[in-house]
Amino acid sequence: MPADPTTMRARAAEFDQEHLFAFWNELDEGQRSALLADVERIDFGLVQKLSATGVTEQATYDPKQIEAPEVLPADPTGALVERYATARERGVAMLRASKVAAMVVAGGQGTRLGYDAPKGSFPIGPVSNKSLFQLFAENIRASQQRYGCRLPWYIMTSEATDADTRTYFEENKYFGLEPGEVTFFQQGVMPAVDDAGRILLAERHRVALSPNGHGGSLTALAERGVLDDLAMRGVEALSYFQVDNPLIAPADPLFIGLHALEQSQMSSIAVVKVDDLEKVGNFAKVGGKLQVIEYSDLPEELARAKNPDGTRMLNGGSVAIHMLAPQFVRALTGGGALQLPWHIAHKKVAHIDLSTGKAVQPDKPNARKFEMFIFDAIPLAERTLVLEQHRRDCFSPVKNATGVDSPETARRDLVRRALRWLAESGVKVPPEQDGEPAATVEISPLRALDAEQLRANAPKLDAVQPGARLMIE
Ligand code: UTP
Protein backbone atom coordinates (compact mmCIF):
# COMPACT_ATOMS: atom_id res chain seq x y z
CA MET A 1 0.00 0.00 0.00
CA PRO A 2 1.61 3.31 -1.00
CA ALA A 3 1.72 5.85 1.80
CA ASP A 4 -1.01 8.45 1.73
CA PRO A 5 0.35 12.00 1.32
CA THR A 6 -2.25 13.65 3.53
CA THR A 7 -1.65 11.29 6.43
CA MET A 8 2.12 11.46 6.08
CA ARG A 9 2.08 15.23 5.96
CA ALA A 10 -0.13 15.43 9.00
CA ARG A 11 2.18 13.09 10.87
CA ALA A 12 5.22 15.20 9.98
CA ALA A 13 3.36 18.38 10.97
CA GLU A 14 2.42 16.92 14.32
CA PHE A 15 6.15 16.75 15.12
CA ASP A 16 7.07 20.12 13.55
CA GLN A 17 8.70 18.42 10.56
CA GLU A 18 6.37 19.61 7.80
CA HIS A 19 9.30 21.24 5.99
CA LEU A 20 10.05 17.76 4.61
CA PHE A 21 7.29 18.58 2.11
CA ALA A 22 8.68 22.02 1.24
CA PHE A 23 9.27 21.08 -2.41
CA TRP A 24 6.22 18.82 -2.85
CA ASN A 25 4.63 20.96 -5.53
CA GLU A 26 7.77 20.79 -7.68
CA LEU A 27 8.15 17.00 -7.51
CA ASP A 28 7.08 14.53 -10.18
CA GLU A 29 5.13 11.38 -9.33
CA GLY A 30 8.21 9.16 -8.89
CA GLN A 31 9.88 11.71 -6.62
CA ARG A 32 6.74 12.07 -4.54
CA SER A 33 6.59 8.30 -4.00
CA ALA A 34 10.26 8.27 -2.99
CA LEU A 35 9.72 11.06 -0.47
CA LEU A 36 6.65 9.38 1.00
CA ALA A 37 8.53 6.08 1.32
CA ASP A 38 11.32 7.88 3.23
CA VAL A 39 8.91 9.73 5.50
CA GLU A 40 7.10 6.51 6.26
CA ARG A 41 10.31 5.02 7.66
CA ILE A 42 10.77 7.80 10.23
CA ASP A 43 9.86 7.22 13.86
CA PHE A 44 9.01 10.88 14.53
CA GLY A 45 8.38 10.38 18.24
CA LEU A 46 11.80 8.83 18.72
CA VAL A 47 13.52 11.55 16.70
CA GLN A 48 11.81 14.20 18.79
CA LYS A 49 12.88 12.52 22.01
CA LEU A 50 16.50 12.14 20.89
CA SER A 51 16.68 15.67 19.50
CA ALA A 52 15.72 17.01 22.91
CA THR A 53 19.01 15.71 24.35
CA GLY A 54 22.23 17.68 23.91
CA VAL A 55 24.29 17.93 20.74
CA THR A 56 26.36 15.01 21.95
CA GLU A 57 25.58 12.71 24.76
CA GLN A 58 28.31 11.34 26.97
CA ALA A 59 27.72 8.50 29.38
CA THR A 60 29.12 9.17 32.84
CA TYR A 61 30.65 6.49 35.01
CA ASP A 62 31.28 6.51 38.71
CA PRO A 63 34.79 5.01 39.11
CA LYS A 64 33.67 3.37 42.36
CA GLN A 65 31.16 1.28 40.41
CA ILE A 66 33.73 -0.07 37.99
CA GLU A 67 35.68 -3.28 38.35
CA ALA A 68 37.88 -5.42 36.14
CA PRO A 69 35.83 -8.00 34.23
CA GLU A 70 36.57 -11.71 34.20
CA VAL A 71 38.42 -12.53 31.02
CA LEU A 72 39.40 -16.04 29.94
CA PRO A 73 43.07 -15.83 28.92
CA ALA A 74 44.35 -16.46 25.42
CA ASP A 75 46.94 -18.90 26.74
CA PRO A 76 45.36 -21.23 29.29
CA THR A 77 47.24 -22.69 32.23
CA GLY A 78 46.29 -25.17 34.97
CA ALA A 79 42.71 -26.39 34.95
CA LEU A 80 41.89 -24.13 32.02
CA VAL A 81 43.94 -26.29 29.66
CA GLU A 82 41.47 -29.12 30.03
CA ARG A 83 38.48 -26.80 29.98
CA TYR A 84 39.62 -25.31 26.67
CA ALA A 85 40.16 -28.80 25.23
CA THR A 86 36.63 -29.79 26.25
CA ALA A 87 35.29 -26.54 24.81
CA ARG A 88 37.09 -27.13 21.53
CA GLU A 89 35.53 -30.56 21.26
CA ARG A 90 32.13 -29.11 21.97
CA GLY A 91 32.68 -26.41 19.35
CA VAL A 92 33.70 -28.98 16.75
CA ALA A 93 30.64 -31.10 17.61
CA MET A 94 28.37 -28.06 17.21
CA LEU A 95 29.93 -27.21 13.87
CA ARG A 96 29.59 -30.80 12.66
CA ALA A 97 25.93 -30.77 13.69
CA SER A 98 25.37 -27.53 11.67
CA LYS A 99 24.35 -25.62 14.78
CA VAL A 100 26.45 -22.56 13.94
CA ALA A 101 25.78 -19.68 11.53
CA ALA A 102 27.90 -16.68 10.58
CA MET A 103 26.77 -13.08 10.38
CA VAL A 104 28.61 -10.03 9.12
CA VAL A 105 27.49 -6.44 9.55
CA ALA A 106 28.16 -4.64 6.28
CA GLY A 107 25.76 -1.72 6.35
CA GLY A 108 28.23 1.00 7.31
CA GLN A 109 29.00 3.88 4.98
CA GLY A 110 32.77 3.45 5.26
CA THR A 111 33.37 7.20 5.03
CA ARG A 112 36.89 7.08 6.47
CA LEU A 113 38.13 4.60 3.86
CA GLY A 114 36.60 6.69 1.11
CA TYR A 115 36.00 3.73 -1.21
CA ASP A 116 33.21 4.13 -3.72
CA ALA A 117 31.61 0.66 -3.30
CA PRO A 118 30.63 -1.56 -0.38
CA LYS A 119 33.65 -1.98 1.88
CA GLY A 120 33.40 -5.77 1.62
CA SER A 121 34.41 -5.59 -2.04
CA PHE A 122 37.65 -3.79 -1.17
CA PRO A 123 40.72 -5.78 -2.37
CA ILE A 124 42.83 -6.83 0.60
CA GLY A 125 44.62 -10.14 -0.18
CA PRO A 126 48.33 -9.12 -0.05
CA VAL A 127 49.21 -11.28 -3.07
CA SER A 128 45.85 -12.33 -4.55
CA ASN A 129 44.01 -9.02 -4.14
CA LYS A 130 40.97 -11.03 -3.00
CA SER A 131 38.32 -8.81 -1.47
CA LEU A 132 37.22 -8.87 2.17
CA PHE A 133 33.99 -10.63 1.12
CA GLN A 134 35.93 -13.24 -0.85
CA LEU A 135 38.19 -14.00 2.11
CA PHE A 136 35.15 -14.42 4.39
CA ALA A 137 33.33 -16.56 1.81
CA GLU A 138 36.35 -18.82 1.36
CA ASN A 139 36.80 -19.03 5.12
CA ILE A 140 33.19 -20.15 5.48
CA ARG A 141 33.48 -22.60 2.57
CA ALA A 142 36.64 -24.07 4.06
CA SER A 143 34.89 -24.44 7.42
CA GLN A 144 31.95 -26.19 5.74
CA GLN A 145 34.41 -28.63 4.19
CA ARG A 146 36.47 -29.09 7.32
CA TYR A 147 33.48 -29.98 9.49
CA GLY A 148 31.27 -31.49 6.79
CA CYS A 149 28.49 -29.12 7.76
CA ARG A 150 26.19 -26.37 6.69
CA LEU A 151 27.33 -22.97 7.86
CA PRO A 152 24.79 -20.42 6.63
CA TRP A 153 25.97 -16.85 6.26
CA TYR A 154 23.81 -13.79 6.94
CA ILE A 155 25.00 -10.49 5.53
CA MET A 156 23.50 -7.34 6.96
CA THR A 157 23.41 -4.51 4.45
CA SER A 158 21.84 -1.07 4.51
CA GLU A 159 20.07 0.94 1.88
CA ALA A 160 23.48 2.38 0.96
CA THR A 161 25.13 -1.02 0.40
CA ASP A 162 22.34 -3.51 -0.34
CA ALA A 163 21.97 -3.50 -4.14
CA ASP A 164 25.71 -3.29 -4.84
CA THR A 165 26.49 -6.05 -2.35
CA ARG A 166 23.95 -8.45 -3.86
CA THR A 167 25.19 -7.72 -7.38
CA TYR A 168 28.78 -8.24 -6.27
CA PHE A 169 27.98 -11.70 -4.93
CA GLU A 170 25.96 -12.65 -8.00
CA GLU A 171 28.69 -11.51 -10.37
CA ASN A 172 31.22 -13.55 -8.45
CA LYS A 173 28.99 -16.65 -8.18
CA TYR A 174 28.95 -16.33 -4.41
CA PHE A 175 32.64 -17.25 -4.37
CA GLY A 176 31.71 -20.92 -4.51
CA LEU A 177 29.15 -20.86 -1.70
CA GLU A 178 25.65 -22.24 -2.24
CA PRO A 179 23.53 -19.15 -2.97
CA GLY A 180 20.77 -20.61 -0.77
CA GLU A 181 23.18 -20.53 2.17
CA VAL A 182 23.84 -16.79 1.83
CA THR A 183 21.11 -14.43 3.02
CA PHE A 184 21.14 -10.65 2.73
CA PHE A 185 19.02 -8.60 5.09
CA GLN A 186 18.72 -4.85 5.48
CA GLN A 187 19.05 -2.82 8.64
CA GLY A 188 16.89 0.14 9.62
CA VAL A 189 17.58 3.84 9.16
CA MET A 190 17.49 7.02 11.21
CA PRO A 191 17.25 10.56 9.88
CA ALA A 192 19.90 13.21 10.51
CA VAL A 193 18.67 16.36 12.27
CA ASP A 194 20.13 19.86 12.41
CA ASP A 195 21.02 21.51 15.69
CA ALA A 196 17.43 22.70 16.08
CA GLY A 197 16.11 19.13 15.74
CA ARG A 198 14.77 19.58 12.19
CA ILE A 199 15.13 16.55 9.97
CA LEU A 200 17.36 17.27 6.97
CA LEU A 201 16.53 16.68 3.32
CA ALA A 202 19.35 15.03 1.33
CA GLU A 203 17.58 15.99 -1.91
CA ARG A 204 14.33 17.81 -2.52
CA HIS A 205 12.59 14.45 -2.58
CA ARG A 206 14.82 12.42 -0.25
CA VAL A 207 15.22 12.54 3.51
CA ALA A 208 18.78 12.44 4.89
CA LEU A 209 18.55 8.90 6.22
CA SER A 210 21.49 6.79 7.32
CA PRO A 211 21.93 3.29 8.77
CA ASN A 212 21.00 3.05 12.45
CA GLY A 213 24.30 1.55 13.62
CA HIS A 214 25.53 -2.03 13.99
CA GLY A 215 23.25 -2.39 17.01
CA GLY A 216 20.41 -2.11 14.50
CA SER A 217 21.34 -5.67 13.51
CA LEU A 218 19.43 -7.08 16.46
CA THR A 219 16.06 -5.66 15.45
CA ALA A 220 16.83 -6.37 11.80
CA LEU A 221 17.48 -10.06 12.64
CA ALA A 222 14.00 -10.24 14.12
CA GLU A 223 12.15 -8.04 11.64
CA ARG A 224 13.70 -9.50 8.50
CA GLY A 225 12.90 -13.11 9.41
CA VAL A 226 16.48 -14.20 10.11
CA LEU A 227 15.65 -15.47 13.60
CA ASP A 228 12.91 -17.65 12.14
CA ASP A 229 15.33 -18.99 9.56
CA LEU A 230 17.90 -19.76 12.28
CA ALA A 231 15.27 -21.57 14.34
CA MET A 232 14.19 -23.60 11.33
CA ARG A 233 17.79 -24.65 10.73
CA GLY A 234 18.39 -25.47 14.39
CA VAL A 235 21.18 -22.89 14.77
CA GLU A 236 22.27 -22.36 18.38
CA ALA A 237 25.22 -20.00 17.97
CA LEU A 238 25.43 -16.98 15.68
CA SER A 239 28.99 -15.85 15.01
CA TYR A 240 29.02 -12.03 14.61
CA PHE A 241 31.80 -10.06 12.92
CA GLN A 242 32.46 -6.82 11.06
CA VAL A 243 33.09 -6.42 7.38
CA ASP A 244 36.37 -4.57 7.93
CA ASN A 245 38.38 -7.32 9.66
CA PRO A 246 40.17 -9.72 7.27
CA LEU A 247 41.70 -11.74 10.13
CA ILE A 248 38.38 -13.07 11.37
CA ALA A 249 37.75 -16.82 11.76
CA PRO A 250 33.94 -17.07 12.04
CA ALA A 251 34.03 -20.79 12.91
CA ASP A 252 36.42 -20.87 15.87
CA PRO A 253 35.69 -24.11 17.80
CA LEU A 254 37.14 -22.78 21.07
CA PHE A 255 35.01 -19.64 21.10
CA ILE A 256 31.89 -21.52 20.00
CA GLY A 257 32.49 -24.27 22.53
CA LEU A 258 33.10 -21.97 25.49
CA HIS A 259 29.99 -19.99 24.58
CA ALA A 260 27.97 -23.21 24.56
CA LEU A 261 29.49 -24.78 27.69
CA GLU A 262 28.89 -21.62 29.71
CA GLN A 263 25.40 -21.29 28.24
CA SER A 264 26.38 -17.74 27.46
CA GLN A 265 23.83 -15.54 25.71
CA MET A 266 26.35 -13.09 24.33
CA SER A 267 30.07 -13.79 24.28
CA SER A 268 32.87 -11.49 23.19
CA ILE A 269 36.49 -11.55 22.11
CA ALA A 270 38.90 -9.15 23.81
CA VAL A 271 42.45 -8.23 22.89
CA VAL A 272 45.04 -6.73 25.21
CA LYS A 273 45.11 -2.96 24.79
CA VAL A 274 48.30 -1.54 23.30
CA ASP A 275 48.29 1.33 25.79
CA ASP A 276 46.10 2.82 28.51
CA LEU A 277 44.37 5.26 26.18
CA GLU A 278 44.00 3.12 23.07
CA LYS A 279 40.88 4.12 21.16
CA VAL A 280 38.91 0.91 21.61
CA GLY A 281 35.90 -0.04 23.69
CA ASN A 282 36.90 -1.29 27.15
CA PHE A 283 35.42 -4.37 28.80
CA ALA A 284 34.46 -3.51 32.38
CA LYS A 285 32.08 -4.58 35.07
CA VAL A 286 29.77 -1.72 35.93
CA GLY A 287 27.68 -2.28 39.04
CA GLY A 288 28.39 -6.00 38.68
CA LYS A 289 27.34 -6.21 35.00
CA LEU A 290 29.68 -6.77 32.08
CA GLN A 291 29.67 -3.96 29.57
CA VAL A 292 31.81 -2.19 26.99
CA ILE A 293 32.71 1.41 27.78
CA GLU A 294 33.71 3.51 24.83
CA TYR A 295 37.16 5.04 25.16
CA SER A 296 35.65 8.50 24.85
CA ASP A 297 33.40 7.82 27.86
CA LEU A 298 36.06 6.25 30.06
CA PRO A 299 37.48 8.61 32.71
CA GLU A 300 41.24 8.82 32.27
CA GLU A 301 41.96 7.72 35.84
CA LEU A 302 40.13 4.47 35.09
CA ALA A 303 41.85 4.00 31.77
CA ARG A 304 45.16 4.28 33.61
CA ALA A 305 44.15 2.32 36.75
CA LYS A 306 46.34 -0.64 37.68
CA ASN A 307 45.77 -3.85 39.64
CA PRO A 308 47.91 -4.47 42.75
CA ASP A 309 50.31 -6.53 40.59
CA GLY A 310 50.85 -3.55 38.27
CA THR A 311 48.85 -4.89 35.33
CA ARG A 312 46.20 -2.68 33.72
CA MET A 313 42.80 -2.95 35.38
CA LEU A 314 40.76 -2.51 32.20
CA ASN A 315 43.03 -4.35 29.84
CA GLY A 316 40.55 -5.93 27.43
CA GLY A 317 39.78 -4.02 24.24
CA SER A 318 36.63 -4.90 22.33
CA VAL A 319 37.14 -5.97 18.70
CA ALA A 320 33.49 -6.43 17.72
CA ILE A 321 33.63 -10.21 17.57
CA HIS A 322 30.73 -11.88 19.34
CA MET A 323 28.83 -15.12 19.64
CA LEU A 324 25.09 -14.66 20.07
CA ALA A 325 22.47 -17.12 21.20
CA PRO A 326 19.55 -16.63 18.76
CA GLN A 327 17.10 -17.15 21.62
CA PHE A 328 18.65 -14.24 23.47
CA VAL A 329 18.17 -12.01 20.43
CA ARG A 330 14.61 -13.28 20.15
CA ALA A 331 13.92 -12.45 23.81
CA LEU A 332 15.47 -8.99 23.44
CA THR A 333 13.51 -8.08 20.36
CA GLY A 334 10.23 -9.80 21.21
CA GLY A 335 7.30 -7.45 20.75
CA GLY A 336 9.58 -4.77 19.33
CA ALA A 337 10.66 -3.91 22.86
CA LEU A 338 14.43 -3.68 22.32
CA GLN A 339 15.83 -0.55 23.90
CA LEU A 340 19.51 -0.11 23.23
CA PRO A 341 20.87 3.31 24.13
CA TRP A 342 21.26 5.73 21.22
CA HIS A 343 24.67 7.19 20.53
CA ILE A 344 24.64 10.67 19.10
CA ALA A 345 27.36 11.82 16.73
CA HIS A 346 27.83 15.42 15.59
CA LYS A 347 28.75 15.18 11.89
CA LYS A 348 28.88 17.01 8.60
CA VAL A 349 25.77 16.10 6.64
CA ALA A 350 25.13 17.43 3.13
CA HIS A 351 21.58 18.70 2.76
CA ILE A 352 19.18 20.98 0.87
CA ASP A 353 18.80 24.57 2.01
CA LEU A 354 15.06 25.00 2.47
CA SER A 355 14.96 28.63 1.41
CA THR A 356 17.02 28.32 -1.78
CA GLY A 357 16.51 24.64 -2.65
CA LYS A 358 20.27 24.40 -3.24
CA ALA A 359 22.59 21.64 -2.00
CA VAL A 360 24.82 22.60 0.96
CA GLN A 361 28.15 20.90 1.71
CA PRO A 362 28.94 21.93 5.28
CA ASP A 363 32.56 22.49 6.27
CA LYS A 364 31.92 21.85 9.93
CA PRO A 365 29.59 19.50 11.81
CA ASN A 366 26.03 20.70 11.35
CA ALA A 367 23.90 17.73 12.24
CA ARG A 368 23.28 14.90 14.64
CA LYS A 369 23.16 11.26 13.61
CA PHE A 370 21.78 8.52 15.80
CA GLU A 371 23.19 5.01 16.08
CA MET A 372 22.87 1.91 18.24
CA PHE A 373 25.92 -0.20 19.06
CA ILE A 374 25.91 -3.99 19.26
CA PHE A 375 27.95 -4.15 22.45
CA ASP A 376 25.22 -2.32 24.36
CA ALA A 377 23.31 -5.61 24.31
CA ILE A 378 25.93 -7.23 26.56
CA PRO A 379 24.60 -5.84 29.87
CA LEU A 380 21.13 -7.02 28.85
CA ALA A 381 22.34 -10.61 28.91
CA GLU A 382 22.24 -12.64 32.08
CA ARG A 383 25.06 -14.91 30.99
CA THR A 384 28.10 -13.50 29.23
CA LEU A 385 31.69 -14.47 28.60
CA VAL A 386 34.84 -12.73 27.43
CA LEU A 387 37.66 -14.67 25.79
CA GLU A 388 40.99 -13.02 25.16
CA GLN A 389 42.70 -13.71 21.86
CA HIS A 390 46.00 -12.50 20.49
CA ARG A 391 45.40 -9.50 18.30
CA ARG A 392 47.84 -10.82 15.71
CA ASP A 393 45.53 -13.82 15.20
CA CYS A 394 42.14 -12.16 15.02
CA PHE A 395 42.01 -8.42 14.45
CA SER A 396 43.34 -5.86 12.00
CA PRO A 397 40.53 -3.64 10.75
CA VAL A 398 40.41 -1.62 7.55
CA LYS A 399 39.07 1.75 8.70
CA ASN A 400 41.22 4.51 7.23
CA ALA A 401 42.64 5.08 3.76
CA THR A 402 46.18 5.40 5.14
CA GLY A 403 48.07 5.13 8.44
CA VAL A 404 46.71 3.10 11.36
CA ASP A 405 44.00 0.54 10.66
CA SER A 406 44.35 0.92 6.91
CA PRO A 407 44.64 -1.51 3.98
CA GLU A 408 48.41 -1.32 4.38
CA THR A 409 48.40 -2.43 8.04
CA ALA A 410 45.75 -5.12 7.43
CA ARG A 411 47.77 -6.62 4.54
CA ARG A 412 50.91 -6.56 6.63
CA ASP A 413 49.12 -8.38 9.47
CA LEU A 414 47.79 -11.00 7.03
CA VAL A 415 51.34 -11.57 5.78
CA ARG A 416 52.73 -11.76 9.31
CA ARG A 417 50.15 -14.34 10.27
CA ALA A 418 50.87 -16.40 7.16
CA LEU A 419 54.60 -16.37 7.91
CA ARG A 420 53.93 -17.38 11.51
CA TRP A 421 51.78 -20.31 10.44
CA LEU A 422 54.48 -21.41 8.04
CA ALA A 423 57.14 -21.19 10.73
CA GLU A 424 54.89 -23.18 13.10
CA SER A 425 54.55 -25.80 10.37
CA GLY A 426 58.29 -26.20 10.22
CA VAL A 427 58.86 -24.12 7.08
CA LYS A 428 61.87 -21.82 7.19
CA VAL A 429 60.87 -18.16 6.87
CA PRO A 430 63.12 -15.10 6.77
CA PRO A 431 63.19 -12.90 9.91
CA GLU A 432 61.58 -9.44 9.78
CA GLN A 433 63.75 -6.61 8.53
CA ASP A 434 63.42 -3.18 10.14
CA GLY A 435 60.14 -4.32 11.68
CA GLU A 436 58.67 -5.34 8.31
CA PRO A 437 57.98 -8.85 6.97
CA ALA A 438 60.86 -9.85 4.68
CA ALA A 439 58.59 -11.68 2.19
CA THR A 440 54.99 -11.26 0.98
CA VAL A 441 53.10 -14.47 1.58
CA GLU A 442 49.39 -15.18 1.54
CA ILE A 443 47.67 -18.42 2.51
CA SER A 444 44.26 -19.10 0.99
CA PRO A 445 41.61 -20.02 3.57
CA LEU A 446 40.82 -22.94 1.25
CA ARG A 447 44.28 -24.32 1.96
CA ALA A 448 44.34 -23.75 5.72
CA LEU A 449 42.26 -22.00 8.35
CA ASP A 450 44.99 -22.15 10.98
CA ALA A 451 48.54 -23.32 11.59
CA GLU A 452 47.35 -26.77 12.61
CA GLN A 453 45.54 -27.31 9.33
CA LEU A 454 48.48 -25.95 7.36
CA ARG A 455 50.74 -28.46 9.08
CA ALA A 456 48.34 -31.28 8.32
CA ASN A 457 47.74 -30.22 4.71
CA ALA A 458 51.33 -29.33 3.92
CA PRO A 459 53.05 -31.38 1.32
CA LYS A 460 56.57 -30.22 1.96
CA LEU A 461 56.75 -26.49 1.39
CA ASP A 462 60.05 -24.94 0.42
CA ALA A 463 61.78 -22.40 2.62
CA VAL A 464 60.53 -18.86 1.95
CA GLN A 465 63.28 -16.69 0.49
CA PRO A 466 63.70 -13.03 1.48
CA GLY A 467 61.84 -10.82 -1.01
CA ALA A 468 59.61 -13.71 -2.18
CA ARG A 469 56.04 -13.06 -3.24
CA LEU A 470 54.07 -16.22 -2.72
CA MET A 471 50.45 -17.35 -2.82
CA ILE A 472 49.80 -20.63 -1.05
CA GLU A 473 46.58 -21.98 -2.58
P1 UTP B 1 32.27 1.57 11.68
O2 UTP B 1 31.87 2.08 12.98
O3 UTP B 1 33.72 1.39 11.44
O4 UTP B 1 31.61 2.46 10.56
O5 UTP B 1 31.52 0.20 11.45
P6 UTP B 1 31.75 2.44 8.98
O7 UTP B 1 30.46 2.98 8.48
O8 UTP B 1 32.13 1.11 8.42
O9 UTP B 1 32.93 3.42 8.67
P10 UTP B 1 33.03 5.02 8.86
O11 UTP B 1 32.92 5.27 10.33
O12 UTP B 1 31.94 5.64 8.05
O13 UTP B 1 34.39 5.30 8.31
C14 UTP B 1 31.92 -1.00 12.05
C15 UTP B 1 31.17 -2.14 11.39
O16 UTP B 1 29.78 -1.98 11.58
C17 UTP B 1 29.10 -1.96 10.35
C18 UTP B 1 30.14 -1.55 9.32
O19 UTP B 1 29.76 -1.98 8.03
C20 UTP B 1 31.36 -2.25 9.87
O21 UTP B 1 31.34 -3.63 9.54
N22 UTP B 1 27.97 -1.01 10.43
C23 UTP B 1 28.16 0.22 10.94
C24 UTP B 1 26.74 -1.42 9.99
O25 UTP B 1 26.57 -2.57 9.51
N26 UTP B 1 25.71 -0.56 10.10
C27 UTP B 1 25.84 0.69 10.61
O28 UTP B 1 24.84 1.43 10.67
C29 UTP B 1 27.10 1.09 11.04
Ligand 1 binding pocket includes 109 (Cβ within 6 Å): yes
Residue 227, pLDDT score: 97
- Does residue 44 sit within a domain? no
List pLDDT tens digits, range 412-459.
999 999 999 999 999 999 999 999 999 999 999 999 999 999 998 766
Q: Whose CA is nearest to atom 15 of ligand 1?
A: 242
Residue 2 pLDDT > 80: no
Instruction: Give the atom of ligand 1 at the shortest distance from the alpha carbon of 244.
Output: 21
Residue 335, pLDDT score: 62
Domain match, 222 and 285 both: yes
Dump strand ranges (E) for 150-275. Answer: 153-157, 182-186, 189-191, 193-194, 201-203, 206-207, 209-211, 237-242, 266-272
Residue 458, pLDDT score: 65
Q: What is the CA(48)–ligand 1 centre distance, in A?
A: 24
Ligand 1 binding pocket includes 257 (Cβ within 6 Å): no
Average per-residue pLDDT for the chain: 95
Find the CATH number of the domain harbouring 275: 3.90.550.10
- Does residue 223 sit within a domain? yes
Ligand 1 binding pocket includes 244 (Cβ within 6 Å): yes
| Domains held by the chain: number | 2
List pLDDT tens digits, range 255-299.
999 999 999 999 999 999 999 999 999 999 999 999 999 998 898
Ligand 1 binding pocket includes 204 (Cβ within 6 Å): no
Domain match, 325 and 467 both: no
Ligand 1 binding pocket includes 247 (Cβ within 6 Å): no
Section 187-199 average pLDDT: 95
Dihedral angle at the C-alpha atoms of 425, 431, 434, 440, nearest 10 degrees? Answer: -50
Residue 445, pLDDT score: 98
Domain match, 470 and 388 both: no
List pLDDT tens digits, range 105-141.
999 999 999 999 999 999 999 999 999 999 999 999 9
Domain match, 266 and 393 both: yes
Distance CA 369, CA 374 (A): 17
- Does residue 126 sit within a domain? yes
- Does residue 39 sit within a domain? no
Q: What is the CA(214)–ligand 1 centre distance, in A?
A: 7
Domain match, 150 and 115 both: yes
Pocket test for ligand 1, best of 243, 318, 319 (most atoms within 8 A of CB): 243
Handedness of CA 383, 386, 387, 389 (dihedral sign): positive
- Does residue 20 sit within a domain? no
378 or 62: which leads in pLDDT: 378
338 contact partners, CB below 8 Å, separation of at least 6: 218, 219, 332
Domain match, 416 and 345 both: no
Of 398, 419, 434, which residue is a domain's last? 398
Domain that holds residue 80: 63-175+214-398
Of 398, 414, 447, which residue is a domain's last? 398
Ligand 1 binding pocket includes 111 (Cβ within 6 Å): yes
pLDDT class of 61 with cuts at 50, 70, 90: confident
Decide: pTM greater than 0.75.
Answer: yes
Residue 297, pLDDT score: 87
List pLDDT tens digits, range 216-264.
999 999 999 999 999 999 999 999 999 999 999 999 999 999 999 999 9
Pocket test for ligand 1, best of 103, 104, 109 (most atoms within 8 A of CB): 109
Domain match, 382 and 452 both: no
Domain match, 383 and 442 both: no
Domain match, 333 and 420 both: no
Distance CA 131, CA 309 (A): 44
Ligand 1 binding pocket includes 401 (Cβ within 6 Å): no
Domain match, 234 and 372 both: yes
Of 354, 380, 398, which residue is a domain's last? 398
